Each structure stands twice: as C-alpha cells, then as structure tokens.
C-alpha cells in the first residue's frame, strides 16, 4: 500500500470538474485507489464519491492505493492536486 497526504489548493475546491479528473485518472490504474477525509473513505474511481466528500480549499486528504501499480496511481492523483487541477 502507498499513501500520500494531499491538500486541496484550488480555491473552488473539489467540484464536478476536479472530481471527474480524479476519477478518470484513478480509472487508468489497476490498483484500488481510495481517498480519505475525516475518517470517511471513498473510491477515487467514482465521480459521485469524490464529489460527496465536499472537499473545499485547504482540505487535507489522504490518497491510498493498493495493487500492482499503486505507486504510479498515487503519484498521478498527487500531481492533480499539486497542479490545482489546472484551474488557477
């Protein structure tokens, strides 16, 4: 299992577009990809799951992946957060 802490850096938080980017990116990998916020864990491959987290600006999340390509999966999701979902 690989785990990274990420922070929502785009001002609008995770709304429909970033949620779709997260789900599309997670679905490229065979590994199970999960995101945790306040002890609630969602499947990162589910757009609705990601949206229901209601992660706003500066929210700290944990991204976890388990599987054959777990390192690459976590790195790809982390890159989305670091690039502010290309919004700012």
Catalytic residues: 15
Q: Which of 2, 13, 7, 11 is nearest to 52 (CA)?
A: 13
Question: Which class for 53: exposed (0-12), middle (13-18), buried (19 or more C-beta within 10 A)?
Answer: buried
- Residue written as token pair 């700012």: 88
Bridge partners of residue 17, in order along the sequence: none
């Amino acid at each position: 299992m690989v785990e990274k802490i990420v922070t929502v850096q785009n001002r609008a938080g995770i709304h429909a577009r970033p949620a779709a980017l997260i789900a599309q990116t997670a679905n490229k990998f065979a590994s199970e990809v999960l995101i945790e916020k306040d002890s609630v864990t969602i499947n990162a491959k589910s757009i609705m799951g990601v949206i229901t987290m209601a992660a706003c600006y500066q929210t700290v999340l944990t991204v976890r992946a388990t599987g054959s390509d777990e390192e690459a999966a976590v790195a790809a999701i982390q890159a989305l957060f670091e690039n502010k979902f290309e919004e700012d």
